[in-house]
Structure 1
Amino acid sequence: MASAVKDSRSGYGPLLRTPGAWTFLLPGFLARQPFAMLTIGIVLLVESTTGSYGTAGAVSATTGVSMALFAPQSGKLADRFGQRAVLVPGVLVHAAGVAALIALALAHAPLWALFAVAVPTGASTPQVGPMVRARWAARLGGSPLMPTAAAFESVTDEFTFVVGPVLATALCTGVHPAAGLVAEAVLTLAGGLLFAAQRRSQPAVHRARAGERARVSALSVPGVRVLIVAFLGIGSVFGGMQVSLTAFTQHIGQPGINGVLYGIFAGGNMLAGIACGVVSWKVGPRRRLLVAYGLLALATTPLWAVTALPLLGAVGLVVGLCIAPALITGYTLVESLVPAAARTEAFTWLTGAVALGQAAAATSAGQLADGFGPSTGFLVPLAGTALALTVLLALRAHLLPSASAASADGPGYGVDDLVPAGSEDRERELARA
């Protein structure tokens, strides 16, 4: 779809007035709600039938890892055959997988059976968030509204992860242990099919013609590989904070305050995301990412040493405020680094990297908390972001758009983004970025 919107303004008003935006925003919002309900729903159901949080966590982690590993393949297929062609069979398989998982858990099936069903259930989780981002990129092209769209999607994702777990928990504890997963399957099926029906707004399918070179994978773009490392570090913050806050509040005998502390952390993320969407940036996205990521790594430094709840809440707020700018800018860079034919795949790689980093961090933080005390789990976000920042600084040259990407994409790239190497304009662009 070559409908780049040439709008010199930024902000949510111009963004939401983009022609056709609401046709995919509302169905997309409904379809992505189950994304945050799946893992918590599995934990609550399996724990109620086995009495073991360890077993429940293992089944949930299997689903999460499967989702992270298969999501990029889903994105690649969506780029090649269209989002509808991937979504319709995907939501059907996912709903069937959830139904089988519920039946096996309630029948007290052996653990291997739960693992066997958890793999396709996670693999078929619809990647609606990346698909919405790909629709924004196709509709906006090189418009200044792209950072605003990335901010809007970040806030929507964060809102989903606030509402989804609360809804799933309320259903599982107040109605039936399986009610959360039942709702997840119903919302996935209804929302996914409704979103897939919005065919006008989906990006154009890019099929290679006879004689053309093989399709380029998003993973072959060096900048995408660098961003994957950055998003693994962001995932380490989410996973490390979740487990460490739980362990810390249980250790001090106030487990009920865990939700408040994590809510403060998530609230900071949402506030920063909203703010990012209304700023007219004069600094290039590469420099914004490096600065934001440096601040994020710095913000995680004192977490392990904090022992007072009010101070921990304050530091958690600062960490949350630093996540959104890094996350949003990373997604924004995809529009200039990756040809349109591979953007959905690129977005799913980044989303999968967050999920994989979160799962690895949750496991590592839990082991540290069990072996060395609850506060040591907070070292995981620090280590994850510090390592990712080192990679970003070392490979920052890969975060500039290349002429090959522009030639493959056409009008989505502005003249300010691409200038000949060695020219004075190129030197000014490098300094700005």
Structure 2
Amino acid sequence: MSATRWAALLRPGRAAELPTAFALESVSNAVAYLVGPALVSALAAAGHPVAGTVLAVSLSVAGGLLLAAQRGSAPAPAARSAPHSRSRSLLRGDVFVLMGLNLAIGVYFGAMQVSVTAFVVEHRAPSAAAPIFAVSNCSGLLAGWLYGLRRWRAAPAVHLLIATGALTLGTWLLLTAVSPFGLGWVAVLTGATIPPLLALLSQLTESAVHPSVLTQAFSWLGSASAAGSAGAAAVSGWAIDALGSRGGFAVTAAAATAMTLQSLAGLRLLHPPTGRSTRTQPAPQARWRSRTRNSSR
């Protein structure tokens, strides 16, 4: 819902700032993943294990209510009387590619958490898990900040292919790590790709679907990511029991490879309708009128 609000705020006259806004979203997520576990662990170590859960629930409820109260950034609801055109359907190739990408990145998240923990336990250094996750998130913060700083000339679909390729390289390197220290260095590479990837997926979704179904599209993609993460936790646990931590890292490598293949297959599908970058895209209504006219021809 927050991504949809960014689109509603910036698309009319500040479309060039959308990549920066989505990068800010992904950096905010990285900050939460960095600070949240450390804070909850500190509360548990201090003898207040329930306080971490209470804090998480309170922040979620309060944040949701504050977001709902901001009526100025809420997109206008689609008119129920408006005819449902084919352009508003989410049953399309580009949306399926984006769903597959979100499913795969969810698998990466779920498998990575379990596999890193299993690896440090195997090497009798369980306390190394927190620093590894920390350096991974910090590299992501830096990468997300740098990505949002500038306007890029290449199409987002090209950036997506580069980012997924870098993630694939990093996940295969995970299989070569022989110590927690070495794993930490590889985690710097994998972590650096995540905020730009999340920003790109939001950017591509915003440019792919009709504005009236944008919130629905984001909810579909978020559900795909959550499903991938939940399923991967179970599958990677089984792989670790059978093959050790490298079995779990093999699941992360398979997910990243699938993302690269999907990015390559969707290179043409995921281009904006006008073939131009976000910097020069017209308003959503004009884009979709143009696409409808072209389809009728």
Calculate the TM-score normalised by the size of structure 1.
0.60
How many aligned residue pairs are there? 285
- 1:390 and 1:226 map into 2 onto residues whose CA distance is 10
Q: In the alignment, is residue 372 of structure 1 matched against residue 243 of structure 2?
A: yes
Q: Give identity over the alignment, percent.
A: 36
Partner of 2:102: 231
Bigger Cα displacement from structure 2, 248-257 vs 325-334: 325-334
1:174 to 36, 46, 63: 46
| Structure 1: gaps of 5 or more residues | 1-130, 404-409, 424-433
Partner of 2:57: 185
1:169-214, Cα deviation, whole Å (9 max, x unpaired): 333443443322222332233322222111121111112216x237
The answer to whether the Cα contact below 8 Å between 1:244 and 1:375 also exists between their aligned partners in 2 is yes
Letter in 2 for 1:190: A
Mapping 1:10-409, distance limit 5 Å = 131-141=1-11, 143-209=15-81, 212-213=83-84, 219-402=90-273
1:59-91, Cα deviation, whole Å (9 max, x unpaired): xxxxxxxxxxxxxxxxxxxxxxxxxxxxxxxxx
- 1:419 and 1:203 map into 2 onto residues whose CA distance is 22
- 2:287 and 2:153 map into 1 onto residues whose CA distance is 13
Letter in 2 for 1:239: G
- 1:300 and 1:371 map into 2 onto residues whose CA distance is 19
Q: Secondary structure at the match of 1:144?
A: helix
- 2:85 and 2:270 map into 1 onto residues whose CA distance is 24
Letter in 1 for 2:260: L
Bigger Cα displacement from structure 2, 247-256 vs 189-198: 189-198
Give the 3 Å change call, closer, same or farther, for CA 285–209 of structure 1 in structure 2: same
Alpha-carbon offset, residue 215 of structure 1? 9.1
The answer to whether the Cα contact below 8 Å between 2:155 and 2:271 also exists between their aligned partners in 1 is no
- 1:171 and 1:218 map into 2 onto residues whose CA distance is 47
- 2:128 and 2:53 map into 1 onto residues whose CA distance is 26
Letter in 1 for 2:90: L
The answer to whether the Cα contact below 8 Å between 2:123 and 2:179 also exists between their aligned partners in 1 is no
Q: Secondary structure at the match of 1:209?
A: coil
- 1:256 and 1:348 map into 2 onto residues whose CA distance is 36
Bigger Cα displacement from structure 2, 142-151 vs 186-195: 186-195
- 1:294 and 1:315 map into 2 onto residues whose CA distance is 14
1:217-257, Cα deviation, whole Å (9 max, x unpaired): 66324322211111222222222221111111111111001
1:146-189, Cα deviation, whole Å (9 max, x unpaired): 11111110000111112222233333443443322222332233
- 2:225 and 2:41 map into 1 onto residues whose CA distance is 23
The answer to whether the Cα contact below 8 Å between 1:218 and 1:343 also exists between their aligned partners in 2 is no
1:382-429, Cα deviation, whole Å (9 max, x unpaired): 1011123223322333213347xxxxxx952498999889x9xxxxxx
- 1:194 and 1:324 map into 2 onto residues whose CA distance is 24
- Measured on the aligned residues, the alpha-carbon RMSD in Å equals 2.8
Query: Which protein has greater RCO, CA pairs closer than 8 Å, 6+ apart?
Result: 2
The answer to whether the Cα contact below 8 Å between 1:221 and 1:337 also exists between their aligned partners in 2 is no
- 1:157 and 1:218 map into 2 onto residues whose CA distance is 29
Letter in 1 for 2:110: G
Partner of 1:82: none
- 1:172 and 1:367 map into 2 onto residues whose CA distance is 28
Give the 3 Å change call, closer, same or farther, for CA 361–336 of structure 1 in structure 2: same
Calculate the TM-score normalised by the size of structure 2.
0.86
| Structure 2: gaps of 5 or more residues | 275-280
Q: Secondary structure at the match of 1:203?
A: coil
Alpha-carbon offset, residue 216 of structure 1? 7.2
Alpha-carbon offset, residue 298 of structure 1? 1.8
- 2:282 and 2:156 map into 1 onto residues whose CA distance is 19
